Amino acid sequence: MHGPFENALAPDEIAVEAVIPPPAGQRAGGYLKLERRVGDFATVGVAVAIETGPDGAITKAGIALTGVGGSTIAAIEAAQALTGQPLTAETIGQAAARAAEAAKPRTDHRGSADYKRHMVHVFVERILSQGATDHQERAA
């Protein structure tokens, strides 16, 4: 298992290329980070990426969490709640709730576990709500 600042390359290997497939539809997403001071490690970090088809349904989704577990967390069930669905208040709420459930924060000097889990929920809602607004503006 690899953690932060680690990769899967052997000592005699070097990465020479990163291939990112072109989008099949519209892409949206974002990253929000809660930090005590600029440059601090994230108390809570949430990254969301979605791709929507011509009908507005989400064809691909990914949600990742930082600062709320021993390593980065892929909120797979939260992303699955979005896939195949339109971006509505209901689907946004479901994804946010599932992302918060996927978080494994610990209470420390930066905040309680409940507060950090709540912030995951808030950040997922904010990013996806902005994506919904952007999609509606492009459709108009």
Phi first, then psi, for residue 76 (nearest 5°) are -65, -45
Q: Cα–Cα distance between 19 and 133 in angstroms, integer?
A: 29
Strand order in the sheet with 26-34: 26-34, 44-52, 58-66, 73-74
Q: Cα–Cα distance between 4 and 115 in angstroms, integer?
A: 23
pTM, entire model: 0.82
Q: Which domains does the chain have, with CATH numbers?
A: 26-139 (3.30.390.50)
33-92 residue pLDDT tens? 998 878 778 899 999 999 999 888 999 999 999 999 988 999 999 999 999 999 999 999
139 DSSP β-pair partners = none
Say which residues have a Cβ less than 8 Å from residue 3's Cβ, sequence separation at least 6: 70, 71
Question: Which pLDDT score, from 0 to 100, does residue 7 have?
Answer: 83
